[in-house]
Structure 1
């Protein structure tokens, strides 16, 4: 019932937002799609990724390049998550053998390499980027309004949430839960550790690729600078703040951080503020949020709230 109310509220909100806030709504939804996958990857597979934005870029450039070469935009959007998942499967085989900070640095290196390649590749527009991308269209209907993309983004969030929920509740999900708590014991019990980690890595990349594909048609312009390393850091902060391994936590974390970034951007662009203020404030707030979460709610906001609710319910039953 709570999910239905939340979905209904999210569906109604775009019709009451002015254009500027509607853009924030769309960017929030795009972040939520990528963070849902990252939360599964870090919370269940135990893999720390600092390169989630690289799969957003792969999805965006896939959709954009297909569109500029005359492929129907709907097919480009459908190809975006598939190509991102395929790329994750190819690079995941060698890098998922790493652990801890080594894996984190490896995923970060992948993003830096990708940005370098895109910046030098003429076929991808180079540093100038791809310009003049068409609006998404299907069946003669063209999505050329912000509210159209707000509805599309909401549908994407619902789709990724349903897929993630189904994955968690499946047999694979049970194996992932065992893998998250005790990898060695899970492997000894017959859980295919490597295959499951690779599966979650590919699913996580597909979610980010879908977000990238929608972003390409919404913005109509792509450049390597659209997917900085800071974006991957944002995704990690969102996942950690909301709660790793929690779908509701990913959605809450994406909402809180996106709104915080918007407030910081507004503050940093006030008259008299230096040009570097937005990036400095962003890094400072990310650091403070991570420190606060690790110190006071190490498992994230949503798991902490659920734990508190369970404790209060137990105390209530005992008192009655």
Structure 2
């Protein structure tokens, strides 16, 4: 009952915010939602499949370029948005088949190299617009209706977040979800129980890529422009930090982590733009924050923010019952 009330309250606040926030805050709200969408997939990938991917920004870019190219070539934007996660997932299946044989830092570096190769190709190929990128991407539309203003994209973004969270919840609570939990506990034990470990890892890898592709598709329609510079390597590191801070293997933890890091970075960007700050201040602040936040979380909140808060609330509930005995 408490979870239902909390969920309804969060949904009401989420729906109310776009109409309350001003024009300067709405872009942050949209980018926060897009980050949350990708981070849910990263949390699922790291928390259940035990795979560290530093290339989620590549699938974000694949989704954005897919939707942009289709829209610029006369395909309805809705079809382009649907194609974005599909193409990203298919790309993950092709790329993941050889890469997921690697483990640990080998896999992390391989996915990082994948993103660097993709961005290099996007900067040289003619149909992707090269380093200049793709411009004048049509607004998102469905039939005769066309999205106008940041408020509409805020609702579209958070509808995508709700979809991603619903899919993730259904996956976790289903029969394959139980197999994933066994996989997260011990790959050896899962394999000895007859669970196809490689297949499940590849499936989760593709699903997390689809989430990133969906976010990329919405991003391209919102900005109307995509280029290799829109998807830096730091973006992939950012998603890892968000997932770890919120709590790996938790859906709401990913949203909390994305919210905390996005708002923190927004505050630092405001600070770095003050008079007297050097031009390199934003990038220095970003890297410093990622390092410090990771150190603090690993040392004091190893399970992440959400599990830490949940465990503390559970202990508080149990204390009175223990005292009365």
TM-score range relative to shorter protein = over 0.9
Aligned: 1:309 with 2:310: no
Bigger shift: residues 225-234 or 270-279: 270-279
Tell me the equivalent position of 2:297: 293
Q: CA separation in 2, counterparts of 1:134 and 1:268?
A: 33
Please list, as runs of the form range in 1=range in 2, the aligned pairs for 1:76-87 lying within 5 A after superposition.
76-87=80-91
Residue ranges of structure 2 left out of the alignment (5+ in a row):
none
Q: How many residues align?
A: 320
Please list, as runs of the form range in 1=range in 2, the aligned pairs for 1:111-126 lying within 5 A after superposition.
111-126=115-130
**1:198 aligned residue (184, 195, 202):** 202
Tell me the equivalent position of 2:135: 131
Residue ranges of structure 1 left out of the alignment (5+ in a row):
none
**2:187 aligned residue (183, 190, 205):** 183
Q: CA separation in 2, counterparts of 1:310 and 1:74?
A: 44
Deviation (angstroms), 1:208: 0.4
Tell me the equivalent position of 1:228: 232
**2:43 aligned residue (39, 44, 52):** 39
**2:97 aligned residue (93, 97, 114):** 93
Tell me the equivalent position of 2:267: 263
Aligned: 1:21 with 2:49: no
Q: CA separation in 2, counterparts of 1:210 and 1:144?
A: 20
Aligned: 1:248 with 2:252: yes
Bigger shift: residues 268-277 or 196-205: 268-277
**Residue-by-residue CA offset, 1:269-292 (whole Å, 9 max, x unaligned):** 112211111000000011000000
Q: CA separation in 1, counterparts of 2:61 and 2:320?
A: 50
**Residue-by-residue CA offset, 1:167-206 (whole Å, 9 max, x unaligned):** 0001111011110111100000011101111111011000
Q: CA separation in 2, counterparts of 1:6 and 1:286?
A: 27
**1:74 aligned residue (69, 75, 78):** 78
Deviation (angstroms), 1:214: 0.2
Aligned: 1:153 with 2:157: yes
Deviation (angstroms), 1:123: 0.6
Q: CA separation in 2, counterparts of 1:198 and 1:239?
A: 19
Q: CA separation in 2, counterparts of 1:121 and 1:279?
A: 28
Tell me the equivalent position of 1:212: 216
Aligned: 1:318 with 2:322: yes
Q: CA separation in 1, counterparts of 2:76 and 2:28?
A: 27
Q: CA separation in 2, counterparts of 1:254 and 1:281?
A: 17
The alignment's TM-score, normalised by the length of structure 2, stands at: 0.97
* RMSD between aligned residues: 0.7
Q: CA separation in 1, counterparts of 2:125 and 2:273?
A: 33
Q: CA separation in 2, counterparts of 1:36 and 1:122?
A: 33
Tell me the equivalent position of 2:9: 5
Deviation (angstroms), 1:313: 2.0
Give SS of 1:89's match: helix
Deviation (angstroms), 1:122: 0.9
Give SS of 1:275's match: coil
